[in-house]
Structure 1
């Protein structure tokens, strides 16, 4: 009797993820897609053009390396 109950518990644990994958509720996804704001391409490009260009090129490693390479003594 103990073997049968253990086998039933194991089968129930295996079947639970299978049942969760089989349920498809597509109704909630359509509502979420409608509430997203629409992207205005012209406004996006205009906003990018208003960003000023930097005068100097940004060097992310500038702090870690010296400005001029060290010269080797001969």
Structure 2
């Protein structure tokens, strides 16, 4: 179970990512929660598949929230036979 403080941080991160949606259009969220002996680590990613852009935030075990990565890739890779 996440602490109240970590839950509030997660809400703030999602709110920040809403501004990413304003800049880049429709986005898809992915939230991963890892449990470690030192606490929980949460990684929140937002993707815009049409623009091929993503943003990633991490809330670490010490309840620090920080921008981990912002990707703006213009090249699309198509896999096929």
Q: Same fold by TM-score, threshold 0.5 exceeded?
A: no
Flag the structure with higher helix content: 1
TM-score by length of 1: 0.29
Higher relative contact order (CA 8 A, sep 6+): 2
TM-score by length of 2: 0.27
Flag the structure with higher strand content: 2
